[in-house]
Amino acid sequence: MADKVELKIGDIIKMKKPHPCGTNAWEIKRVGMDIRLCCTGCNHQVMLPRKQVEKGFRGFV
């Protein structure tokens, strides 16, 4: 398995699947067992389990 990624509040990350608004860049708003992400395109916020975020993570913007 890949090394753990150091995610911090304020980081902008790229995810595997794009948001319905068309962008795949997300800003991290909260870090813990769950991670709150804010879409950089439409400002929609979602809470996802850390495991799901690490699986879909494709890099930093």
Query: Is 5 within the bounds of a domain?
Result: no
Cα separation of 42 and 38, whole Å? Answer: 8
Query: Is 7 within the bounds of a domain?
Result: no
The whole-angstrom distance between residue 58's C-alpha and the CA centroid of its chain comes to 9
Query: Is 35 within the bounds of a domain?
Result: yes
Q: pTM (2 decimals)?
A: 0.89
Q: For the purposes of burial, counting CB atoms within 10 Å of the CB of 13, is it exposed (0-12), middle (13-18) or buried (19 or more)?
A: buried
Give the total number of structural domains in the chain: 1
Q: Containing domain of residue 38, as a range?
A: 12-60
pLDDT in tens, 24-61: 999 999 999 999 999 999 999 999 999 999 999 999 99
β-strand pairing of 57-60 with 12-15? antiparallel
H/E run at residue 55: helix 50-56
